[in-house]
Amino acid sequence: MSTPGAIVIVGCGGAAGDDAAGLAVIARLRAEGGLPPGVRLHAVTSGEQLLDLLDDAAALIVVDAVASGAPPGTLHRLRWPSARLDGLRPGSTHQLGPAAALALADALGMLPPEVVALGVELDRATPAAGLGEAVAGALPALADAVRAEARRLAHATTGA
């Protein structure tokens, strides 16, 4: 059962090269911890799965690989709603991308008041390849950014 008022952290990704960054950061956070209490960690491969995880969420952090043209390994932070997330195209039509899932959740009133997207600029999403050097090198910093965001949100949502 979910914890009321939880901070939900969702890593999105697939098995193709740097696209696995969102999944890798969740694995890292599971192994290393360092998160405030009451945090739920999830790894998903499609946007609809994200929609199943929002019950009782007080805040949501979405972590994914980003292709914006910045140097590989660059960290990104966006707060929902953001025009930069609006325009993203889904990767598949039978599955929603994370941005489309957020838009739908927003329209349905399912989003918590605080939604933050954290990302790392990808280099190559090569099928069956592991994470590239730039993204693998940025993972510790990305995990730290997620921890810092979670602490900030824990502070904000509990009013402590």
Partner 1 sequence: MTHPPPRRTRTLAVSALARVEGEGALTIRTRRGRVVGAELRIYEAPRLFEALLRGRDAADAPDVTARICGICPVAYQMSAVAAVEQAFGVFVAPAAAMLRRLLYCGEWIASHALHVHFLHAPDFLGHDGALAMAQASPELAAVVRRGLRLKQAGSAIMTLVGGRDVHPVSPCVGGFHAVPRVAAVRALRDPLRRALDDAVATVAWAAGLDIPDVAVAHEWMALRHPDEYPICSGRLATTGGLDAPVEAFLDHVEEVQVPWSTALHARRRGRDVVHATGPLARWNLNAAVATPRAREAAAAAHLPVPCTNPALGIVVRAVEMVVALEEAVRLVETWEPPLAPAVGWTPRAGVGHAVTEAPRGLLYHRYVIDDVGRIVEARIVPPTSQNQEAIEADLRQAAAGFVALPQDEAVLAAEKVIRHWDPCISCATHFLRLRVEEAR
Q: Which residues of this protein are in contact with partner 1, per CB under 8 A?
A: 45-46, 48-49, 51-52, 92-95, 100, 103-104, 107-109
Smallest gap from residue 52 Cβ to partner 1 (A): 5
Q: Closer to partner 1 at the Cβ: 3 or 45? A: 45
Helices (H) and strands (E) counted in the chain, each on its own, are: 5, 5
Q: Closer to partner 1 at the Cβ: 100 or 138? A: 100
Partnered with residue 9 across adjacent β-strands are 41, 61
Q: Closer to partner 1 at the Cβ: 31 or 89? A: 89
Smallest gap from residue 139 Cβ to partner 1 (A): 23
Residue with the two structure tokens 């039978």: 94
Instruction: Decide the pairing of beta strands 114-121 and 75-79.
Output: antiparallel
Smallest gap from residue 59 Cβ to partner 1 (A): 20
Residue with the two structure tokens 């972590």: 63
CA distance 155 to 160: 5
Instruction: Decide the pairing of beta strands 57-66 and 39-44.
Output: unpaired
Smallest gap from residue 90 Cβ to partner 1 (A): 9
